[in-house]
């Protein structure tokens, strides 16, 4: 499957996962949700490593450490924000990560641009514009508002988006050095399990499960694991900014789920925003091959 389609599938599964997290947040703290989400992923990826005879040991442990730490911190903050904010607002704040990616990459291209004679190569402004247009569509769809007592949770949600952007850039770096996708997701899941255990112990969670609650926790883990695998593979194999723009489709899916499950209003402005998001994603996909070089395919064994 090509990187754009991988990202579309990941965006859809993450939107479904967000709905499940919102339901589960009424029964469990964020740390416990992170624990079960990551535990399912750890078991699945351990099985994948064994099935594909991929060694769990890595020649770049520090790269995995930074990727896993930033990704896990972003996950914890995002789940916490979903539990404390309206779902639409929490999703919007987290989906600012592609804008952060654009800013990070653009800033890096400016800082690292050669100053001497000779040709220089920077980020195509059209691709940056496509990502920013996608965020404008997000604002049109969700128009997030927060009460005064929700400002702190909103800042945490915003921070989760920035940390997610950092993790996504590190995914690209891991792909370039040939790290298998399964190994990357394995270490990320392991980090989530450790963080979830610590947060659960600190908050006194771990009890009072119901069959419905357990089903939600398992569903979150399965959806997140498959989506994370698809997202990791997309970023490892595709141009960072183009793939980031396609991630905006998660907002479209979340908007549809919100209208169907939570009776969110469907307005002409929101529909126009959805069309803008889709247009930005298509434009970025067409431009991605002309601007940033694609990362090499990760080693499969």
List per-residue pLDDT tens for the chain, 301 residues long: 788 889 899 999 999 999 999 899 888 888 899 999 999 989 988 998 999 888 888 889 899 899 999 999 999 999 988 887 777 777 877 877 767 766 676 666 655 555 555 544 555 677 778 778 877 877 776 665 555 566 677 778 878 888 988 887 888 788 888 888 889 889 999 999 999 999 988 877 666 778 888 899 999 999 988 887 888 788 777 666 667 677 778 878 888 887 788 776 677 877 787 788 778 777 766 665 454 444 333 333 3
User: Locate tokens 């434009």: which residue?
Assistant: 283
What does the pLDDT read at residue 298? 33
Domain boundaries, the chain: 3-109+123-291
Q: Are 294 and 238 in contact (CB under 8 A)?
A: yes
Report the C-alpha gap between 54 and 183 in whole angstroms. Answer: 8
Please give the Cα distance from 76 to 50 (Å, whole number).
28
104: how many CB neighbours lie within 10 A of its CB? 17
pTM of the model: 0.76
């Amino acid at each position: 499957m090509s990187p754009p389609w991988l990202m579309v599938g990941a965006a859809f599964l993450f939107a479904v996962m967000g709905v499940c997290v919102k339901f589960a947040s009424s029964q469990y703290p964020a740390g416990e949700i992170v624990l079960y989400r990551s535990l399912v992923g750890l078991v699945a990826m351990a099985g994948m490593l064994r099935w594909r005879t991929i060694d769990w040991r890595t020649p770049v442990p520090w790269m995995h450490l930074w990727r896993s730490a930033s990704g896990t911190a972003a996950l914890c903050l995002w789940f916490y924000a979903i539990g404390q904010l309206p779902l639409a607002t929490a999703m919007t704040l987290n989906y600012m990560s592609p804008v952060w990616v654009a800013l990070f990459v653009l800033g890096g291209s400016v800082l690292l641009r050669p100053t001497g004679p000779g040709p220089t190569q920077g980020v195509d402004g059209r691709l940056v514009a496509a990502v920013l247009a996608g965020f404008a569509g997000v604002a049109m769809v969700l128009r997030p508002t927060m009460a005064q007592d929700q400002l702190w949770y909103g800042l945490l949600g915003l921070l989760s988006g920035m940390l997610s952007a950092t993790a996504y850039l590190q995914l690209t770096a891991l792909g370039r050095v040939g790290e298998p996708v399964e190994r990357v997701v394995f270490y990320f899941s392991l980090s989530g399990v450790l963080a979830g255990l610590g947060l659960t112990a600190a908050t006194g969670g771990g009890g009072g499960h119901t069959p419905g609650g357990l089903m939600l926790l398992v569903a979150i883990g399965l959806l997140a694991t498959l989506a994370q695998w698809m997202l990791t593979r997309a970023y490892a194999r595709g141009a960072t900014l183009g793939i980031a723009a396609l991630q905006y489709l998660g907002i479209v899916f979340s908007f549809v789920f919100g209208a169907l499950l939570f009776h969110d209003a469907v307005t002409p402005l929101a529909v126009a925003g959805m069309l803008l998001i889709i247009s930005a994603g298509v434009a970025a996909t067409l431009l991605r091959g002309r601007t940033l070089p694609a990362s090499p395919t990760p080693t499969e064994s």
